[in-house]
Amino acid sequence: MNKEVITIKIGSNALLGESGKNFDTDIITHLLDDIYKWRKQYHIVLVSSGAVAAGRIVLQKTADTLDRSTLAAVGQMHLIDMYYRLCVERDIVPSQILISREHLTVRENYAHIRHTFQELLHHDIFPIVNENDAVALQGGGFGDNDALAVYAAILSRSDRLIFLTNLDGLYTADPRVDANAEFLERVDNIDQEITAMCSASRSSFGTGGMLSKLRSAKMATTAGIDVHIINGLKTENLSQLLSGEKVGTWFPRIGEDSLSDKKLWLLLGSTSNGQIIVDDGAKEALKQRKSLLAVGIKKVRGKFVQKDFVNILDMQGDTIALGIVDYDSEILSEALKQKKDKESIRRRLPREVVHSDNITLLK
Ligand code: GLU
């Protein structure tokens, strides 16, 4: 596969356009025209939301009495039917991949989905991806398709991930209420300052939207993928970006070192809410790709058992790494509570808590 791979994510807001009620056929037709045009140069993967919204469009009033899974089960048909017709008109062979969160926690499944993407792209088949909402438990899935888009980008070995949203990109504040809001063309470091800007404007322009895109951008750039957030309601934007023009906000990929397959899977497989908070010494050791030892742990939050995924946080509350833990949370908490001096902790928990082979650092 020598063409660059690009994952494009379109959210329900962009699909519904200004009306917010029905699919905006202009926007969608334009998107498919662009995909048709750019497929000559790139392999393109589309992550499309809209199943729940389509369920509402099909079922009208009845929709108010139904849950998201039921709406998505109805709406996914409508959504994919629309894409199918548009693809056939353009001589594109489409395919549908519905991913469930838990599939990715099993390494064999992860490898299998990766293989499916490779096969499809190798045969010039156009993958259209969504979450398998009909079977996902409420609260147990990806949450929103921003995270799913990162997964799809990693699974398809994409070089770039483009979010089509209803905003021009990232601002220092909500541009609709703050005249001093500055537009950010490029963000190299998704740190607390940037994240705080989005949380501060949460009620209007955030509502999870930009915040979840920042989280996703952090994961994707760590995995070596360039991320762009552009306004999908301006139909000329995608082509301009792909032609090399500056459009929206760009989050350049971090470093050149590519993560091993296992470390990428670690990034994707993590579904745990378990948290291990580490001190500055342990943070430094992790950066130098060392294992996490019990003496560097300040606190343990949530329940987990040996071999579960855990989030590793620094004392400022930033997630710095993901890993597979070798002790149960109860054993760790108990040991930390009872033994305050480092020597006795070391004696009680002699093995690595998370081995360096099982850690992916978030940069
Ligand atoms: N998978 C959901 C859908 O297709 C995503 C909804 C969202 O982006 O919030 O409707």
Atom of ligand 1 nearest to the CA of 133: 1
Q: Counting atoms of ligand 1 from 1, which one is nearest the CA of 12?
A: 8
Among protein residues, the one with the nearest Cα to ligand 1's atom 2 is 49
Q: φ and ψ at 184, to 5 degrees? A: -105, 115
User: Cβ < 6 Å from ligand 1: which residues?
Assistant: 11-12, 49-53, 72, 130-131, 133, 144-145
- Segment 84-98 mean pLDDT: 97
Angle between helices 145-155 and 107-122 (to 10 degrees): 70
Q: How far apart are CA 25 and CA 119, in angstroms?
A: 30
Q: Output the CA 8–ligand 1 centroid distance in Å.
A: 15
Q: Which amino acid is at 153?
A: A
Residue of 78, 128, 131 best suited for mutating to test ligand 1, as the one with most atoms within 8 Å of CB: 131
Using the mean position of ligand 1's atoms as its centre, give its distance from the Cα of residue 50 in Å: 5
Asked if 93 and 127 touch (Cβ cutoff 8 Å), the reply is no
Residue 272: pLDDT band with limits 50, 70, 90: low
State whether CATH 3.40.1160.10 applies to domain 4-262.
Answer: yes
Q: What is the mean pLDDT of the chain?
A: 88
% of residues, the chain, pLDDT over 70 = 92
Indicate if the pLDDT at residue 53 is higher than 90: yes
pTM of the model: 0.84
Q: Which atom of ligand 1 is nearest to the CA of 148?
A: 1
Rounded CA separation 207/184 (Å): 19
Residue whose Cα lies nearest atom 5 of ligand 1: it is 49
* For the CA of 131, the nearest atom of ligand 1: 1
Report which protein residue has its CA nearest ligand 1's atom 7: 144
Residues 66, 55 contacting (CB under 8 angstroms): yes
Q: How many A from CA of 51 to the centre of ligand 1?
A: 6
Whether 201 has a pLDDT exceeding 60, the answer reads no
Structure token pair of residue 221 = 């750039």
Any idea where the domains of the chain sit in the sequence?
4-262, 272-361
Question: Phi and psi dihedrals of 138, rounded to 5?
Answer: -60, 125
Per-residue pLDDT at 267 exceeds 80 = no
Q: Which atom of ligand 1 is nearest to the CA of 53?
A: 10
- Encode pLDDT of 184-194 as tens digits: 999 998 877 78
**Which CATH architecture best describes the domain 272-361?**
Roll (2.30)
The alpha carbon of 42 and the centre of ligand 1 are apart by a number of angstroms equal to 25
213 vs 13: CA distance, rounded Å: 14
Residue 238 pLDDT? 97
Whole-angstrom distance, CA of residue 138 vs CA of residue 151: 19
Q: Give dist(CA 96, CA 47) in Å, integer.
A: 10
CA–CA separation, 246 vs 137, rounded Å? 39
Give the pLDDT of residue 143. 67
Q: What is the C-alpha separation between 235 and 31, in angstroms, rounded?
A: 7
Helices vs strands, H then E, count in the chain: 13, 14
Count Cα atoms within 13 angstroms, Cβ side, for 212.
16
